[in-house]
Amino acid sequence: MTSPVRGKRLAACLALTAVPLAVSAAPSALTEPYIPETMPPGFRVEASELDGPVFADAQGRTLYRWPFRTMRNGVTGDGKGESNCADTASTESAGLMSPYPGGLVLPEVEKRPSCQAMWPPAFAKDGDKAVGKWSVVTRRDGRRQWAYDGSVLYTSVRDRRPGDVLAGDSYRHEGDAPAMRDPIQPKPDVPPGFGVTTTLRGRLLHTARGFSVYAFDRDTRARSACDSACEQVFVPMQAPATANAHGDWSIFTRASGERQWMFRGRPLYRHEGDDRVHSLEGSDVPGWRNVYTQETAPPPAEFTVQDTPSGQVLADKRGRTIYSYTCGDDAPDQLSCERPDDTQVYRLGMCGGGSAERCERNFPYVEAVREAGGSGRLWSVVEIDPTTGHFAAKDQPGALRVWAYRERPVYTFAGDQQPGEVNADGLGDFQAEREGFRAFWWRDDFFRE
C-alpha cells in the first residue's frame, strides 16, 4: 500500500541524509506530568532528563529497584520483600549466562566492590511506617529497608545530584542484558489510551498499543489544519464523550463534531502508515512531528546524524558511527563493568585482545574539542587515561578529553570506512546486550525504536 504523501515524504527523506545536529544549549524546560502519590515523609519526585519523573529519598537521591530476572541458567535480582544485594564482594562467576560455566575467578577480584558498596540500601529510620505503596521490610541482617510495591529500594553511588539516573539502565533492558536496576517512577499523567516510553530523544508519547502520536505544525490551539484528505493519513486521536480536560490535557471539537485530544494545546494524531511501534516515520512528512512529554538535551553540536541501512545513527563530525560500550559481569550481583571506574579487562579484551594501544586504534574515543562541554545531564566531557581506560587523575599528562554519555565514554570504530556503516554494532556477547559495542541509534526503522 502506498501513502498519498509518498512523493513528498521521499523528497524530505532524501534531504535528511547526513544532517548536522542542531545546536542547543539545554533541554526543553518542560517536564513530564505525573500522577502524585502518597510518599514517606521527606521523599519526593525529581525530574530526570532521560527517564522522566523518578522517586527520590529525602536527600534527593534517585531510588532504584533490582527486579528478579530470569537469565539463561538461573535467576538473580530481588524477590518481593527481600534483598539479595550482599555486603561482601562476589569472587566467582555465577554461570548465569551461556555457554561458559560458573565458578571462574572474576577479574581484578581483589578490587571488586560488594553489591551494597555500589547500591546502598535505602534504609528506613526507626518509626518509619508503611504508606500507600511504600512499605518497610526487615532485612536478613535485621536492618529495615524501604520497599515500593514490594520491591526493596537502593540508591546508587554513581548519582550525585537530585534527578541523576546515571546508574540506571531502563533504556537498555533487552533480552540477554544483565539483571539491571531500574529507577522507580510515578505513573505518567496521560489519559487512558496513551502511554510514554523512554527514548534517546526524550519521553515519547504514544498510544496504549505503542504507536506514535504526532502533532501538526500548522495546527493552532483548538483548530486543526488537517483536512479530510489529511485525516486519511493522520487520524485524529479521539477523546471519548466521558473524557475531561485536566493538567496539560484538553479536548476540542472538530468541525465534524468529533472530540480530539490535545496535549499542551496541540491536537494529537496517529499516523496511518506506521506499521511498527515507536515509529518516527510520520515525522518524515513535512510539518509533522512526534510528541514528547519531555525532551533530552541534544547530543554534542559537533556530532552528525548519518543514514544507515536500518535507520539513523549518531556519528562524529567525519561521519563515523558512534558506539557505546555495554558490560555487566556474570556474577550473582550483576555489577557494571562498562564505566571507566569499573574493571577494564573485558573492554580491552574485546577491542584490543588485551592491548590498550590496539583498543584505541580499533575503537578510538571520540575526542572533544577544547571548548566543548555537555548540555544537559546525559552528555559530558570526561578525561580518560588511554593507557588504562580509567578516568584520568587531575591534570594527568596524556589524558584525553572525550565525549561520554551518562559518564560512559563513546567510541568510533576504525573498521567503518564510510559514513553510515555500522560494522561493529552488536559486536560482543549476546549481540552486545551482555557485553560489547552497540551503535548509537538515533532512529531505527527496522528493529528498534
Partner 1 sequence: MRIRGSLWIATAALIAAAGARADGAAPPGRTIAYVVTNLSWALESTPEMTECPHGLNDGVREQFKLLFPESAGNKRTLVDTQLRRQVESYQPTTAPDTLPFLEGEGPVAPGVDLDDVAGPEDFTSPDGARGIDNQMHRVLGCIANYRAPDGPIRFFEDEMVLRENYNRIIVQLVGVDSLADDPDVDVMFFRGRDKVLVDAGGLKALPGGTQRIDTRWGGRYIRRTRGRIDKGVLTTEPVDLLYPWDAFYMPTDQYMWGARLQLKLTPEGAEGLIAGYTDVETWYMHMLRNWSAHYQSYGRSSGPSIYKAMRRLADGIPDPVTGANRAISSALAAKFTEVRVLPFSGAEVAAIAEAKPGVPYRGMPAPRPAAEELAETRGSPPRTTNGSVPGNP
- Asked if residue 141 lies in contact with residue 26, where contact means CB atoms within 8 angstroms, the answer is no
Alpha helices, DSSP H, located in 384-423: none
Interface residue with partner 1, options 51, 169, 429, 449 (CB under 8 A): 429
**Site pattern 370..409 for partner 1 (x: CB under 8 A):** ----------------------------------------
Q: Binding to partner 1 by residue 72, rule CB under 8 A?
A: yes
Distance from C-alpha of 199 to C-alpha of 194, rounded to nearest angstrom:
16
Q: Binding to partner 1 by residue 4, rule CB under 8 A?
A: no
- Amino acid, single-letter form, for residue 5: V
Element (H, E) at 74: strand 74-76
Interface residue with partner 1, options 22, 29, 99, 397 (CB under 8 A): 99
CB of 413 to partner 1, least distance (A): 8
Give the three cell numbers for residue 33.
506530568
Q: Binding to partner 1 by residue 448, rule CB under 8 A?
A: yes
**Site pattern 170..189 for partner 1 (x: CB under 8 A):** ------x-------------
Closest CB to partner 1 among residues 164, 329: 329
Q: How far is CA 315 from the centre of its chain?
A: 18
Interface residue with partner 1, options 105, 229, 241, 255 (CB under 8 A): 105
> How big is the site for partner 1, counted in residues (CB under 8 A)?
59
- Asked if residue 84 lies in contact with residue 116, where contact means CB atoms within 8 angstroms, the answer is no
Stretch touching partner 1 by CB under 8 A, among 24-32, 39-47, 103-111, 141-149:
103-111
Stretch touching partner 1 by CB under 8 A, among 50-58, 253-261, 301-309, 314-322:
301-309
Residue 124 — φ and ψ, nearest 5°? -95, 150
Interface residue with partner 1, options 83, 151, 308, 336 (CB under 8 A): 308
- Amino acid, single-letter form, for residue 213: V
Distance from C-alpha of 376 to C-alpha of 442, rounded to nearest angstrom:
17
Element (H, E) at 349: helix 345-352
Q: Binding to partner 1 by residue 61, rule CB under 8 A?
A: no
What SS3 class is residue 425? Answer: coil
Q: Binding to partner 1 by residue 414, rule CB under 8 A?
A: yes
CA distances from 73 to 69, 70, 291, 440 (A): 11, 8, 40, 30
Q: Binding to partner 1 by residue 14, rule CB under 8 A?
A: yes
User: Roughly how many angstroms between the first and final C-alpha of the chain, as a whole number?
Assistant: 23
What SS3 class is residue 282? Answer: helix
Q: Binding to partner 1 by residue 74, rule CB under 8 A?
A: no
Q: How far is CA 123 from the centre of its chain?
A: 27
Closest CB to partner 1 among residues 342, 407: 342
Element (H, E) at 229: helix 228-231
- Asked if residue 449 lies in contact with residue 276, where contact means CB atoms within 8 angstroms, the answer is no
Distance from C-alpha of 227 to C-alpha of 225, rounded to nearest angstrom:
6
Residues numbered 346 to 365 that lie near partner 1 (CB under 8 A) are: 346, 349-355, 357-358, 361-362
Closest CB to partner 1 among residues 70, 418: 418
Give the three cell numbers for residue 261.
485530544
Interface residue with partner 1, options 165, 434, 440, 449 (CB under 8 A): 434
Q: Binding to partner 1 by residue 319, rule CB under 8 A?
A: no
Q: Binding to partner 1 by residue 100, rule CB under 8 A?
A: yes
Q: Binding to partner 1 by residue 10, rule CB under 8 A?
A: yes
Q: Using CB under 8 A as the criterion, which residues of the chain lie in contact with partner 1 when the complex forms?
A: 1-2, 6-7, 10-11, 13-14, 72, 93, 97-101, 103-107, 176, 307-311, 345-346, 349-355, 357-358, 361-362, 414-415, 417-418, 420, 422-431, 434, 445-448
